[in-house]
Each structure stands twice: as structure tokens, then as C-alpha cells.
Structure 1
Amino acid sequence: MPRFAANLSTLYPEQDFPDRFAAASADGFDAVEYLFPYAYAAGELRARLDGHGLRQVLFNAPPGDWEHGERGLAALPGREAELREGVDRALEYAAALGSPRVHLMAGLVAPDADRARHRDTYVANLAYAARQAASAGVDILIEPINTRDIPGYFLNRQADAHAVVQEVGAPNLKVQLDLYHCQIVEGDLTTTLRRDLPSGRVGHLQIAGVPDRHEPDRGELNLRHLCAVIDDLEYDGWIGCEYFPAAGTSEGLDWLRALRTEFPHTSPKDHA
């Protein structure tokens, strides 16, 4: 049951961020995700969502000093207080925006780092975040990311993510499976989907073309096949479109229009 959410951090770069909500709605999306909401008042973003009939399905918790290269705090010893402040802030925005999911980024580690120590920190921070989010009805997500795009990122492989989720043991801690990152790191996407989606530990999917991160039907992925697998597995979550358009965003959505023909239930505004 493929349902696609527009990632407003990457799509519609030809428009200012606040105007991307209208553009996504006009192209038939009924849900959005993006990296960070914190540059805007939550009320302003909620008005954009409501005004264009959109739902918020995902955003990231504060990642540390993003502008200076930080990519999350959850696996960084000594940053626990900042991490907890960020979780609290993210949950405030999640409540205001009606977002049921928040992605908590792990962070960068040096090649010679004590990975066991980082992992212990990661597990403890994720357990804290999941506890805080549970009372708000929010899922905390973790995402394996390829080290070509983000060298040094702590979490890279699906099995490692699932092992952490199982160790923490919180029902609202789940894996964000980005098929773009997964293809680059380990491939075997069909087997991965068939193995992991039925586990209940995957809370969100994302997709982009490989290797250039353009439209998902460009490059080495067989998008039609992957959507058929996802449909066959009766996945009822969202697929975030986190890619960089090769040209104009709307002009590049032929792949989505084709899928709406083949999978009519991907049509917009059909989902409560």
C-alpha cells in the first residue's frame, strides 16, 4: 500500500521553504516530512499543514551544530544533557504538528573511537528518548546512513539498527529504512524488505535514486518492483521522497504519476 510523503528539505528547492507545502499539495501529496522545523514557529508550520490539507509524518530531533558538521548526538558520550534537551524540544514540535515520528540521529565517530562506549551511550540515550516519547504517542526512529554521504556516521547497517532496537526493547523505537542508503551499503533490497517489514520494527521508509539521489526511478533501483514488494507485504506506513530533483520537482514526478496508475490506492487524499 505505497503512500508517499514529500520531503520538503530536498524537494521544491526552487521555492522558499514555507511555499513548499502548497507545491506538495498541488502535486497530489497528502503528507510531508523534512529535516528540521526549528527555524519556524510550530504554529506557523501547523497553519501551512492545515491550510493545504497535509499531515506531518516525520522530522528530525535537533542534531547538534548542523552548520558546523555535526550529524546527531545520540551516540556521543558527554553530550547527554544536550541530547535530552533536544528530545524535549522535538516532542514539543511533534505535539504541535501532529507528527507521530521523530528521527534521532546518532552522530559522527572517529575511525579509532571506542565503538563499544559509543554504542552504550547510544542505547542509553535511545531508551531515554523512547520513554519520553511514549507518553506522547510518538515513535523514535533510527536510520542507518551510508558513509559515502556522511563519512563517520555511527550507524550504517540494517542488522545493527535492528539489534539496537531489540536491545532497548521499547515498542516505540523503530528503524527508518532508507532504501537509498541501504542499497549503497549492503544492497539486497528485496530480501531486506521481506525480512524486516514483517518484524514490525520498521517505522518508516524513504527512497531516492541510486547513485545520484535524484528521482527514485533513475539509476539502479527497480522502483516498480520495490513498490510491488512493499504492497505485497501490506506495509501501511509512509515512504518519504528524500531525493534531489534532477530538474524541476513537479516536472520530475512522472514516476509518481505512473505508480498512481498501477497502484490506484497511492492516489492522493485517500487516507484518513
Structure 2
Amino acid sequence: MPRFAANLSTLYPEHDFPDRFAAAAADGFEAVEYLFPYAYEATELRRRLDAHGLQQVLFNAPPGDWDAGERGIAALPGREAEVREGVDRALEYAAALDCPRVHMMAGLVPQNADPAPYRATYLPNLAYAAEQAATVGVDILIEPINGRDMPGYFLSRQADAHAVVQEVGAPNLKVQLDLYHCQIVEGDLTATLRRDLPTGRVAHLQIAGVPDRHEPDAGELNLRHLMSVVDELGFDGWIGCEYFPKAGTSEGLGWRHKFQGENA
């Protein structure tokens, strides 16, 4: 049976962020993820998790200046010192929150730029992050992101992500497979799942409806079929619900009840 984690950056927008933990627990979620924890003290987030019996399963390393439009810095030449500072900060939060996975965003590159210097920066930064994370039992994740939602993002295709993981060669460097992004970029989701999940390189899945990123059963994806493939392949990781509810979050969770029973 799929294990769904609520993404608190996108779900429950009707609540202030600290109150989203309670809302997710009230709807039967047992795990949460979100973009960034750094606006809050780790002790406060830990208190919210514990109070509502939730696991923290994923968050992102510092992405550079998000408000100014940056979307990660791991592949950006000249930002190596900032990357290392960010890794240290992320791992401090991961330890405090008992979070086993941290996603490192690659960043945006100019149109038609030579990818070589970016890749030459990206791989050593990921190797450093994985080495540091291994000492505290944390996996570092990389995620291909579609260029429609995030134009210029350095990493967009699954094969490229797996090639990076294999080249770095760290056992705790893994891929975050978002079926929403993958469908937009390359499609063929069933074949992708059957090809990539058995490798052991995929540590986390995410879902949302395509094309509008609403509830995951809305649009062109056959969610029941995809989740049956995930089960068939024995994937036991978490599946993050990173979508924007069309109306109220709780009111739109009927799709989840189909997988986890009417009391979910």
C-alpha cells in the first residue's frame, strides 16, 4: 500500500504554516515534507512533529536567494562555499528533526549555456554533501524538474539524474522521482518506474495532477495504475503529495481514501 506524505508547502494553504502539521495529522497523514525549514527554529518544528505523531521525511537544502528567483546553487560555479555552508545547516536540521533525506537543488542556468562547467561544479558539490550526510545517516537527493514550471533548471531528465548518481558513486546519493515533472518532460511513466525503481537509486516519489498540479487523480495521469506499479515493484519509500489543492485540502482528499480506506 502506498505511503503518502503531506507536502506542507503546498497543502493546507488555508492555515498558517505551523498549523499545517495539526491539519495533516487530523486528515490521517503520518509523514510530512516541505520546501524549507529555515524560517523556524528546529526545536519548534520538532515540537510540532512530536505533538501530532508525524515523521519528517524530506526537506530541501538552502537554495540561494529564493525570493530573488534562485532555485538552488549546487551546480553554480563560484558558489561552492555557500553550498557547503548550506549542507552543514541542512544536516543540523535533519538531525534535529530526525529527517533521513535532504534534497539539493541544482539551480538555473542561462539559455544555451555550455553545461560542462555546471556539471563540473555539481558533481563535486554532491560528493561533498553525500560524504557529510553519510556521517549522520542522511541521504542526499537530486530531482529532475520540468522546464515549463522552472525554466532553465539544470536537471530535467531522469536518465541524467541517474547518470550523475552513478558517476558520483556515493551510496547515499539518490534520485527524487516526481511523477508530475517526469510526465511533463518525458512521459512513459510506467516504463520509467519499472526501469528505475529496481535500481535502488530512487529514494522518494512525489505526485500531482498533470497538467495543472492539482489533486493527483485530476488530469491525464492514471493514479491507480501508477500506484499499482509502485506496489508491484515493492517500493516502500514515501510518496510526497506536492500539489496545489483545487479547493480545500481536506475536501480534496477523496483520491487518497481510494488507496487507504475511508478512514484514512
The question of a shared fold, defined as TM-score above 0.5 by the shorter chain, is answered with yes
Q: What is the aligned partner in structure 1 of residue 256 from structure 2? A: 256
Q: What is the aligned partner in structure 2 of residue 173 from structure 1? A: 173
Q: What is the aligned partner in structure 1 of residue 185 from structure 2? A: 185
SS at match of 1:195: helix
Amino acid in the other structure paired with 2:86 = G
**1:162-209 CA deviation, whole Å, 9 max, x = no partner?**
000000000000000000000000000000000000000001000000
After TM superposition, give the deviation of residue 113 of structure 1 in Å. 1.8
Amino acid in the other structure paired with 1:153 = Y
Q: Is it true that 1:135 corresponds to 2:135 in the alignment?
A: yes
After TM superposition, give the deviation of residue 118 of structure 1 in Å. 0.5
For structure 2, the 5+ residue unaligned runs are none
Q: What is the aligned partner in structure 2 of residue 163 from structure 1? A: 163
Q: What is the aligned partner in structure 1 of residue 145 from structure 2? A: 145
| Cα distance in 2, alignment partners of residues 22 and 236 from structure 1 | 25
Q: What is the aligned partner in structure 1 of residue 19 from structure 2? A: 19
Give the 5 Å matches for 1:181-260: 181-260=181-260
| Cα distance in 2, alignment partners of residues 233 and 209 from structure 1 | 22
| Cα distance in 1, alignment partners of residues 5 and 187 from structure 2 | 23
Q: What is the aligned partner in structure 1 of residue 54 from structure 2? A: 54
After TM superposition, give the deviation of residue 114 of structure 1 in Å. 2.0
| Cα distance in 1, alignment partners of residues 62 and 123 from structure 2 | 18
Q: What is the aligned partner in structure 2 of residue 28 from structure 1? A: 28
| Cα distance in 1, alignment partners of residues 160 and 45 from structure 2 | 34
After TM superposition, give the deviation of residue 258 of structure 1 in Å. 1.2
After TM superposition, give the deviation of residue 28 of structure 1 in Å. 0.3
| Cα distance in 1, alignment partners of residues 259 and 101 from structure 2 | 25
| Cα distance in 2, alignment partners of residues 240 and 191 from structure 1 | 20
Q: Give the structure-1-normalised TM-score.
A: 0.96
SS at match of 1:140: strand
Give the 5 Å matches for 1:52-131: 52-131=52-131
Q: Give the structure-2-normalised TM-score.
A: 0.99
**1:43-79 CA deviation, whole Å, 9 max, x = no partner?**
0000000000000000000000000000000000000
| Cα distance in 2, alignment partners of residues 93 and 222 from structure 1 | 36
SS at match of 2:140: strand
Amino acid in the other structure paired with 2:160 = D
| Cα distance in 1, alignment partners of residues 10 and 173 from structure 2 | 25
**1:66-111 CA deviation, whole Å, 9 max, x = no partner?**
0000000000000000000000000000000000000000000001
Quick one: percent identity of the two aligned structures?
81
| Cα distance in 2, alignment partners of residues 234 and 144 from structure 1 | 22
Q: Kindly report structure 1 stretches of 4+ aligned residues shifted beyond 2 Å.
A: none
| Cα distance in 2, alignment partners of residues 229 and 77 from structure 1 | 39
| Cα distance in 2, alignment partners of residues 112 and 178 from structure 1 | 25
Root-mean-square deviation over aligned CA pairs: 1.0
**1:202-232 CA deviation, whole Å, 9 max, x = no partner?**
0100000000000000000000000100011
Number of equivalent positions: 264
After TM superposition, give the deviation of residue 31 of structure 1 in Å. 0.1
Q: What is the aligned partner in structure 2 of residue 38 from structure 1? A: 38
| Cα distance in 2, alignment partners of residues 166 and 98 from structure 1 | 27
| Cα distance in 2, alignment partners of residues 59 and 237 from structure 1 | 15
Amino acid in the other structure paired with 1:258 = K
